[in-house]
Amino acid sequence: MTKNMILATAILSSSAFGATDAQVVEYFKAQIPVPTVKVSVTSRIPIKEIKGMDYVSIDISDGDRVQKVSVFTQGDLIFPDVISVKDGSIKEKLDKQEFIKELSALYKKEDKKNILILGDDPKKETLVKFTDPECPFCVKEVEKIEEKLKDYNLKYIFTPVHDRSSLEKSILIHKQASVAKTLDEKIKILKKYFNGDVDAKVSDKEIEIAEKVKTKYFAAGLKGVPFYINEKELLE
């Protein structure tokens, strides 16, 4: 499905026989000849600077995963991007705004037990980090976490992109950190599993819950890990 989705975006031509929501949906469905795939327009925003042009957000789903695609429409035309010679890609700017909006909605409703909090200094800003215990770049960052904590409070949300073991480690970190009494103890637990192996049993039910947490953030537009964002942006 992924290849088909990418193809659908790549082969957008300058003419798509109509650009109403229904016609945009039909256009994408024609590029992905898989009966079980669903395509829906989730939003349409007028581009103030360009008369008659809209920024359209689309969800493409196979029932388990959702890929977000965005295009521009004007009359019976579809464009994969619009480039301003002064400001660069308009798509990049609007994609980011839409992503933060969706991420914010999820974060505000997130169960606190799914967020690992490291540091609570009111004088420091807080960074929210989406991470994976088996991501090499995430591991390197955790090794230097004390340096980061000098300037920021950190809140971790686990969105692993690797195998089941990465979910198991995430669950074990939460379990053990929830009863840790000090920040140093939490850091020790974090480093233990980012650099080690699974050493306790994790149930299928726990995996299912962790998988749902991960899936909803990727469905909102998260592209990968590690990903940092200032908590202020999510709470606005």
The answer to whether residues 39 and 16 touch, using CB atoms and an 8 Å cutoff, is no
**Angle between helices 183-194 and 136-143 in degrees, nearest 10:** 150
Host domain of residue 231: 110-235
- For residue 10, the model assigns a pLDDT of 42
Q: Do the domain assignments include residue 21?
A: yes
Domain co-membership, 9 together with 114: no
- For residue 11, the model assigns a pLDDT of 41
Domain co-membership, 136 together with 83: no
Q: Which residue has the tokens 């969800």?
A: 59
Q: Do the domain assignments include residue 98?
A: no
Domain co-membership, 70 together with 149: no
Domain co-membership, 64 together with 117: no
Q: Do the domain assignments include residue 101?
A: no
- For residue 147, the model assigns a pLDDT of 97
Domain co-membership, 124 together with 229: yes
Instruction: Name the token pair of 4.
Output: 């088909």
* Max Cα distance, the chain (Å): 62
Residue 184 phi/psi, 5° resolution? -60, -40
- For residue 39, the model assigns a pLDDT of 95
- CATH at residue 166: 3.40.30.10
Closest C-alpha to 60, from 78, 40, 44: 40
Q: Can you give the pLDDT of all 236 residues of the chain as single tens digits?
A: 444 444 444 444 434 434 789 999 999 999 888 889 999 999 999 998 888 999 999 999 988 788 899 999 998 889 999 998 988 999 999 999 999 999 999 999 999 999 999 999 999 999 999 999 999 999 999 999 999 999 999 999 999 999 899 999 999 999 999 999 999 999 999 999 998 899 999 999 999 999 999 999 999 999 999 999 999 999 98
Domain count, the chain: 2
- The model carries a pTM of 0.80
